[in-house]
Amino acid sequence: MLALAAAVCWGTVASAEVYEPPAHVSLDTIVSTIEEFMRRPDIPLAGGETGYVEDIVRINAVDLDWDIGMSVHEPADPGDIAVGADGKKIGIFLLHGGSGDFKSMHKRANLMARKLGYKVVSMSYPGRHAFHTESRDWPGSNVTAHDYHDYTLEVRTPLWLRGEYISRDQYDVIKDTGQRARYGTRTLAKAKPGTTFYYRMAGWPMAFEQAGVAAMRRHFPEGEFSIYLHGHSTGGPFTMMLSQRVPNIAGILAIENSSFGYIYRAQAAWGGQLGAIEGFDRVVEDKQLPSRSDPFDELYIRSWRDRARYAGPELLGSEGPEALYRLPAIMEDILASWGDVQSRAGFKAEYIVTHGIEDSLRAAATVTAERMKLNKSDTRALIARYIGLTRELSGEGVKPVPPIMFQISAHSRDHSKEVYEEVVIPLFKQMQPAPKLSLTQFGAGTHGYMSGEVVEGVNLGIGPAVFQQWDDAIKGGYFITGKD
């Protein structure tokens, strides 16, 4: 009777069994789960018509001020915030993928808040929040061509601080073909030494660390909330990094979620930097690319090519080689989806952390130390801190890596079941102590798991089925460890 009462109070099932995620979720189960999930009544949210409240915090990292933007999605009545198996309110901290910003995660955040009653925070990476527009959408294109006498390009650059803008004379635009097999020709903005752009590009990793900690402390007080992290794709290594830096983080919800930088570096090397699709062999060795070596001072400007590099492998997995017969139509769709206006940020600098590029992190830390006029001892400590962003913390008194629930889609280029079994999970098991792990593969979906209609009329991909599994795990005790 007492157990039943506790289960009802804490929002768990009336069972002593701890929830264990399945290894595979069939298409039929995905469809029925989505249909049931969408029938849940809507919970009124705070924030009026938008369904969220924006929050901006200013932090100081490596002797520079940084403005960090985020949105907070939660029930209008605080009493409606859901509670997990540990008796704490459920807080979800979201980080977007490669070239996005906080709005990239709004469909997820809204769905979890209004259907599950979670309090959700979606944070923009440092530099990604469009402070200069009321809508927080980025205006125009991320690349602008000028033709006066000399043909020049101007690119969109980060906004790290309200009122501070990176002028065109602070960078050179270069074209890179070194990874053409994966990206096509890349457009890069290379910061000029000694400029604000250069020092910001060297300093943002420390700002990212402090920003995530500050956001969670502000919105998910210890003792009241348990926090669950999700970083889609590029956001994954940063949620992994943050997972040991906030005491009340209880778990990682890792759907299509890259891992610690050194692990993702090994994962990318396994696929020759080109990935793999289930049912097809990996690319042969002479077609593979070397491990990434991006310098810290280069900002990658995204383009339609980034849509294409996912569309190709995903169509291979879902349709087979026959998809190539309609390549013109596929390219039309890709170009149309990119469009003339890119309202999300459309640039990226995070490879040095996400791929564990230690030489570039060392260089960024050294430039930062020189700007701050640090002594040799403090410089060595700063370098160690930069490189430490790419791997788990260890040692006496350190919070262990929390339980992780890995989930992958059916047709994901970089997140195949094979690479998890051969590379990712074995590396996690080598940690001391090793975290609790599970791996679920869904029988539908792509890397952009919120895209497409698995259920007719529900353009949310496999997302609702994924979030139902999160809810089952949080309320079913999966994330409660013996230490708790």
Q: Specify if 317 maps to a domain.
A: no
User: Strand 186-191 and strand 225-231: pairing?
Assistant: unpaired
* Structure-block tokens of residue 27: 């298409």
Q: Specify if 154 maps to a domain.
A: no
pLDDT tens profile 87-111: 999 999 999 998 899 999 999 999 9
Tell me the three state secondary structure of residue 259.
coil
User: Strand 151-155 and strand 298-301: pairing?
Assistant: unpaired
Q: Specify if 374 maps to a domain.
A: yes
Q: Is the pLDDT of residue 328 over 70?
A: yes
Phi, psi of 357 (to 5 degrees): -85, 90
User: Stretch 420-449: mean pLDDT, rounded?
Assistant: 97
Q: Specify if 480 maps to a domain.
A: no
pLDDT tens profile 268-299: 998 877 777 777 777 766 667 788 999 999 99
As to burial, measured by CB atoms within 10 angstroms (0-12 exposed, 13-18 middle, 19+ buried), residue 320 is exposed
Which residues, 6+ apart, have CB-to-CB distance to 162 below 8 Å?
A: 56, 67, 131
Q: Are 278 and 316 in contact (CB under 8 A)?
A: no
Q: Specify if 225 maps to a domain.
A: yes
In angstroms, the CA 67 to CA 70 distance is 10
User: Stretch 326-342: mean pLDDT, rounded?
Assistant: 93
Determine the pLDDT at residue 2. 30
Q: Specify if 139 maps to a domain.
A: no
- The dihedral sign for the CA sequence 479, 483, 87, 16: positive
The alpha carbons of the chain give a radius of gyration, in whole angstroms, of 22
Q: Specify if 147 maps to a domain.
A: no
- pLDDT band at 373; cut points 50, 70, 90: very high
pTM of the predicted model as reported, rounded to 2 decimal places? 0.93
In angstroms, the CA 156 to CA 233 distance is 22
- The dihedral sign for the CA sequence 308, 313, 317, 322: positive
In the block, residue with structure tokens 């043909």: 151
* Average pLDDT score over the chain: 93
Domain limits for position 260: 19-134+198-298+344-475
Q: What is the domain count for the chain? A: 1
Which residues, 6+ apart, have CB-to-CB distance to 191 below 8 Å?
A: 170, 171, 197, 198, 201, 297, 298, 299
CATH number of the CATH domain containing 460:
3.40.50.1820
Determine the pLDDT at residue 363. 99
In the block, residue with structure tokens 């209008």: 76
Q: Is the pLDDT of residue 18 over 70?
A: yes
Q: Specify if 164 maps to a domain.
A: no
